[in-house]
Amino acid sequence: MFDSNENDPISPALRALLELFTTDLAEVRFPDMNGDVLDEAAAQVRAKAEAVAKAQGALEAARQALQESQDALAQKGQRALAYARVFSEENPELSAKLDAIHLSRAVRKSGKVEAAVSSEPVAANGNEDNAPKRRGRPPKVRPAPGATLFSEGPSPEALAVAHEGNGVLPTA
């Protein structure tokens, strides 16, 4: 798993030392140190690093499962709160208790965000940032009041110059 140098848990300096003990210092033996001892220690480091990587993968999977469970609970909570608000329309005391509950937004499985149920308007500040994206064609550009049909077009002189010599009569 740690074959490439960028993913190797052993520093470049220690890798260089290990390389020296397998090449130039392969025959050298110190009282409790040689290339085999270093290779064994490096193998242990790589094995521990691989165990850490597997544990991190399992942790990430567990976090993802927790997030999905929390999202499902939040979505069910939103539905339960909406049902309870409809049910409590005739009971002002219960309705007041439900109005005090503000749940966070729940994420739907399709990736769209479901708005939290509240008694306040969604776009209270009228900001375009929180308004939904408009769909369809952009609206037609309308002339300003009092403007003529050709008020922004080229002048008759410019039309005459542009069409000069091509057999088209200029129109203004």
Q: Evaluate whether 106 touches 80 at the Cβ level (below 8 Å).
A: no
* pLDDT 10s digits, 103-120: 887 555 555 444 444 444
R_g (Cα) of the chain, nearest Å? 37
- pTM metric for this prediction: 0.47
Q: Are 85 and 117 within 8 A, CB to CB?
A: yes
Residue 4's SS3 state is coil
pLDDT tens for each residue of 56-77 = 999 999 999 999 999 999 999 9
How confident is the chain (172 residues) per 10-residue block, as mean pLDDT? 69 92 86 89 95 96 96 94 92 92 70 45 52 77 66 65 64 55
